[in-house]
Amino acid sequence: MTGQRPVIIAANWKMNTTPASAGPLAAEIATATQVAGVTRVICPPFVCLGPVGAALAGSGVAVGAQNVHAEPAGAYTGEVSGQMLAGLATWCIVGHSERRRDQGETDALIGRKLLRCAENGLRAILCVGEQFAERQAGSAEATVRNQLEATLAELRRHDSGLPADLVIAYEPVWAIGTGLTARGSDAAEMAQQIRHILAAAGVPNGGRDVPVLYGGSVTSAAIDEFLAEPDIDGALVGGASLKVDEMAGIVARAGLTAVARGHA
């Protein structure tokens, strides 16, 4: 089953780049990461989606948004709806830890965002993960279980289930920009737990088809430990994704995983 899941490297540029700088950077990364068998996605800020899409046309690199509003349309000043993103992006990050922290996003809200993605042809990357205190208290698994179960409950409330093409990114929040690092075995264990949770919730094929990415201060120097784990299917890359050489190194290593799984 591992061999059937794609190997994915998604770049989250966060609040970096401008419409003038984003296109050239995306084009450089696309050229430097031409590795067979790896699904590549770049998620720039909203204002850069157009230039990045134009720069990546024909490159094989997909464009993703960093967020989407939970409602289809309405009086939500400053927000961006799924239908606005259709045509500009084909992927979308949902429930990133920074939005949970800074915007107070709840699991129910995130569930509705998954609905908007499905309605508008956006492949969602759903982020889940625990804080340092939760890891220290031994409740990391319970935290992730609660996040997933609450999101699933919201989808069921709308007579829906998880999108068939869903990707989950496990973010140990305590390892993002803190200097602390997770181990490959930590991420692999959580990936296994995520699929057990999905199986218990009745997700088709026990959740074994759902790719799980690692996201926590990913670098070219550290990625090998995570991609060596059969349960990890790629990475959601933050700060390193703004550096061409870092992305080249990360995708090159992902290419080895793709070959080992028969994707290249």
Whether the predicted pLDDT of 3 surpasses 90: no
Rounded to whole angstroms, what are the CA distances from 17 to 13, 43, 88, 183, 257? 8, 11, 17, 30, 30
pLDDT in tens, 4-25: 899 999 999 999 999 999 999 9
Q: What's the confidence (pLDDT) of residue 2?
A: 64
Domain ranges of the chain: 2-72+79-260
Q: Report, as an integer, the average pLDDT of 49-61.
A: 98
Give the Cα separation of 137 and 164 in Å (integer): 33
All residues at 6 or more sequence positions from 222 whose CB lies less than 8 Å from its CB, including other chains:
181
Q: Which two tokens stand for residue 145?
A: 């279980």
Supply the CATH classification number for the domain 2-72+79-260: 3.20.20.70
Mean residue pLDDT across the chain = 95
Residues annotated as catalytic are: 96, 171
% of residues, the chain, pLDDT over 70: 99
In this structure, what are the phi and psi dihedrals at residue 4, rounded to the nearest 5 degrees?
A: -85, -20
Rounded to whole angstroms, what are the CA distances from 262 to 145, 205, 258? 31, 21, 6
Q: Which two tokens stand for residue 233?
A: 């299917």
**Distance, CA of 141 to chain centre:** 19
All residues at 6 or more sequence positions from 95 whose CB lies less than 8 Å from its CB, including other chains:
105, 107, 110, 113, 126, 127, 128, 147, 151
Q: Report, as an integer, the average pLDDT of 220-224.
A: 95
Question: pLDDT class for 204, splitting at 50, 70, 90?
Answer: confident
Rounded to whole angstroms, what are the CA distances from 245 to 25, 33, 60? 11, 9, 19
